[in-house]
Amino acid sequence: MSHAELIFDGKHGTGESPVWVPEEHALYWVDIPAKNIWCWRADTQTTRSWALPEMVGCIAHIGGNQWVAAMETGVFRISLNDDGSSNTVLLSPAHHATSTMRFNDGRCDRQGRFLAGTMFLNMAEAKAVGAVSSFNGAGDQRALFGHMIVPNGMAFSPDGATMYLSDSHPSVQLIWAFDYDISTGTPTNKRIFVDMNPLPGRPDGAAVDADGCYWICGNDAGLIHRFTPEGKLDRSLAVPVKKPAMCAFGGVNLDTLFVTSIRPGGVDLSDQPLAGGVFALRPGICGIAEPKFIV
């Protein structure tokens, strides 16, 4: 299917951070403002959710019912219990530059380090106080970048040696590539990979496929763009909502591209009634299994 299939009409305020867990045949994701983690089982076509005490920007699997989650006040180890409850244990506190901030986009690198970026809650104020940090299983935190407005689009090449990162704020809309030292987790040699300003949509969440191509949600344009490793636009796939937020490969053969989305408040949604839903596409390309957080 090249068209987008709705798998869950969640009406999420901000659906983000989809992660496919192959041993469960399940997709997990978050609804940031609702403070929920969601799960959809492909084998049973059922969904369930867990409430968390804070807004959660991004997650990565540890194993079993254990997850790592970047929330408002820090990075936590989360247990998702069978009864729908959750337990949280702080791994590393957030070092925010100011008040009213939270974590946003993030994921594990190929070696199992967890990287996540922070942002000021009111994006309209365009405060460049966001930062990206790296976390290991011992709770150690290392700052990598600062002076960002909305860090987003984090992804890694198949060999882990290239890191991608964007700033999705309307005043920036750039995607950068870095050389990434897989032994130390250090990004260097920052360069512009794609300037999204002349293209439809702002850069949001991203994924990398088995060919090393970079897929990124074109927020506000209802598109998912695929760029080659050289930064050339290869194709764009449409979803029936204006604000796709993040994409991830999953399915039995990792050949399904799952896409979460945003349901904006205070606007007419008659032309996009499925805003905030989760969608599946078959782009004819396979992805790469998402690394687990190494504790």
Q: Which residues are catalytic?
A: 204
- Tracing tokens 């987008």 back to the chain, one arrives at 4
| Dihedral angle of Cα 50, 54, 57, 62, to the nearest 10 degrees | -50
69, 37 in Cβ contact below 8 A?
yes
Which of 102, 105, 110, 109 lies closest to 127 in space, CA to CA?
102
| Dihedral angle of Cα 96, 99, 101, 103, to the nearest 10 degrees | 30
54, 96 in Cβ contact below 8 A?
no
Q: What are the two backbone dihedrals, phi and then psi, of residue 251, each rounded to the nearest 5 degrees?
A: 90, 170
Which of 184, 175, 140 lies closest to 154 in space, CA to CA?
175
**Token digits of residue 190:** 């920052």
258, 27 in Cβ contact below 8 A?
yes
Q: What are the two backbone dihedrals, phi and then psi, of residue 125, each rounded to the nearest 5 degrees?
A: -75, -10
What is the identity of the amino acid at 154?
M
79, 86 in Cβ contact below 8 A?
yes
